[in-house]
Amino acid sequence: MTGGTNERGLPVRVPMAQLAPASVADRPVMRHEPDPEAVGGMLSRLYSGVRRAEAEETTEMYLPRDEGGRRQ
């Protein structure tokens, strides 16, 4: 919400105009508790992927090419 425009044609901000009414802000926020088994499985897969990536032996480093096709 704006309070019109200033002399340069830019919108003028109305302080606190975007805040929710107090009745909406006072309601408790519902939290979703994640399933510990699901989180454990996700972390296990993540760490497994990290270990696989670390175990790969890469000797060649790929560098991007510039507009002329030369390596940077």
Q: What digits encode the pLDDT tens for the residues 17-40?
A: 877 776 665 677 788 899 999 999
State the pLDDT at residue 54: 87
| pTM for the predicted model, two decimal places | 0.39
**CB distance 14 to 1 below 8 Å:** yes
Helix (H, G, I), strand (E, B) or coil at 71: strand
**CB distance 5 to 11 below 8 Å:** yes
Q: How confident is the model at residue 50 (pLDDT cuts 50, 70, 90)?
A: very high
